[in-house]
Amino acid sequence: MIEIQNLTYSYDRADDKVGGLALNGINLTVNDGEFVAVLGRNGSGKSTLAKHINAILLPMGGYVYVDGMDTLDESKTWDIRQSAAMVFQNPDNQIVATIVEEDVAFAAENLGVPPDEIRRRVDYALGAVGMTKFRKEAPHLLSGGQKQRIAIAGVIAMKPKTIVFDEPTAMLDPSGRKEVMKTITELNRKYGITIIMITHNMDEAVCADRVVVVDKGRIIIDDKPRNVFSDVDKMRRIGLDVPQATQIAFELKKAGLDIKCDILDEQECVEEIIKLCR
C-alpha cells in the first residue's frame, strides 16, 4: 500500500524565477492490487509525484509511506525501491545487457538474489510479459514495444508489489502501445501487482480502476474513469482530452440527442447510437 500524506516538494533552483511548489499538499492512498492512472498537463507535477513513490525524490513536507516504510528513512531506501519499482518512458535508456535474459536478471542480481532463485524469477518475469521466446536474443534487435516489455520484466524479477510507470508508451508505435498496455493490465489483473501509471493517452487511462488528475501540484480529481471522462467540459478546462468515443457521445448530447455521456470506448459508443436508431 502507498500512503501519501500532505506531500509538498519544490525544485527550488536558484535560477528558477518562476519557483513555487511542484507538489502542494498531495494526499493519496493507493491500496494493494489497485490500478491507478495519473493524468495532468506537462509541468503539473505528476512525474515529481511518481518519483516520490520509490524515493528518487524525498518529501520537503509531509510523508510518503510505501508498505508502511517512510521514504525519509534512509535505511529503508533499498527495501522501498524493491517494493515499488519504476519503469520509464524510453526503453533504450533502461536496458543494460546484451542478452535479453541477462538484462532481466540485472536488478535481481544487484539485490543479491541467489542464482537458482534468479533463474526462476527471470523465467517467471519473461513469461509474465510474454517474451519467453526472445530470452536469448539481443535487446537492440527488438521492437520498441518488445524492449519496453523487457524493461518491465527486469522490474518484475525484483518481485515488487507496486510498479510505477512514467508514460510507458510515449515512444512506441500503435502495436507497441497495445502490447505494453496488455502487459500492464495483465500484471494487475492476473498477478495482482499494484499499478500507478502516468499517461497522456486517454484511451490508456480508461484501462485503470481509478483516475487521478494532478494540476499545479495538487490532486483535483480522484474518481472512476467513467465519471472522470464523462465531464468533458471539465477535462477540457484542465487542458486534457477525453477518448474520441466519449467526445462523439458528448457532441451528440449537446446537439440535443438523448444519449449518455459516460462512454469509454468505441464499442459502448456504437451500442448507444444503435439505441437511438431504434
Partner 1 sequence: MPIEVKNLNHIYSKGSPFEKTALSDISFKINDGEFVGLIGHTGSGKSTLIQHLNGLLKPDGGSVIVDGLDISDKTVNMREIRSKVGIVFQYPEYQLFEETVYKDIAYGPKNLGLDEKEIDARVRHVAEVVGLDEKYFEKSPFELSGGQKRRVAIAGVLAMNPKMLILDEPAAGLDPVGRDEILNRIKLLHETEGLTVVLVSHSMEDIARLAERIMVMCDGELKMFDTVENIFSRSAELSSMGLNVPQACLVMQGLKKNGIAVDDKIYTVEKACKEILRYLGEVGKC
* Contact residues: partner 1, CB under 8 A: 15-16, 40-43, 89, 143-145, 167, 170-178, 200, 203, 239-241, 243-245, 247-248, 251-252, 255-257, 265-267, 269-270, 273-274, 276-277
Which grid coordinates are listed for 132?
519467453
Rounded Cα gap, residues 251 and 131, in angstroms: 42
> What is the smallest separation between the CB atom of 112 and partner 1, expressed in angstroms?
36
For partner 1, give the closer residue by CB, 71 or 169: 169
C-alpha cell at 98: 546484451
Q: Which is nearer to partner 1, 122 or 221 (CB)?
A: 221
For the CB of residue 256, give the shortest distance to partner 1 in the complex, in Å. 7
Nearer to partner 1, 16 or 74 (CB): 16
Give 195 or 202: the residue with its C-beta nearer to partner 1. 202
Taking the least distance from each CB to partner 1, the nearer of 224 and 275 is: 275
CA distances from 162 to 36, 47, 80, 106, 156 (A): 11, 16, 10, 19, 10
Smallest gap from Cβ 27 to partner 1, in A, equals 23
Cell output for 133:
521466446
Q: How far is CA 71 from CA 10, 26, 35, 58, 75, in A?
A: 17, 15, 22, 7, 9
CB nearer to partner 1: give 176 or 217.
176
- Cβ(2)–Cβ(164) under 8 Å? no
Residue 264 CB, nearest distance to partner 1 (Å)?
11
Look up residue 16 and give its three cell numbers: 528558477
Q: What is the DSSP string of 173-231?
A: -HHHHHHHHHHHHHHHHTT--EEEEE-S-HHHHTTSSEEEEEETTEEEEEE-HHHHHH-
Shortest Å, Cβ 202 to partner 1: 8
Q: How far is the CB of 236 from partner 1 (least distance, A)?
A: 9
Grid-cell match 543479491, residue found: 112
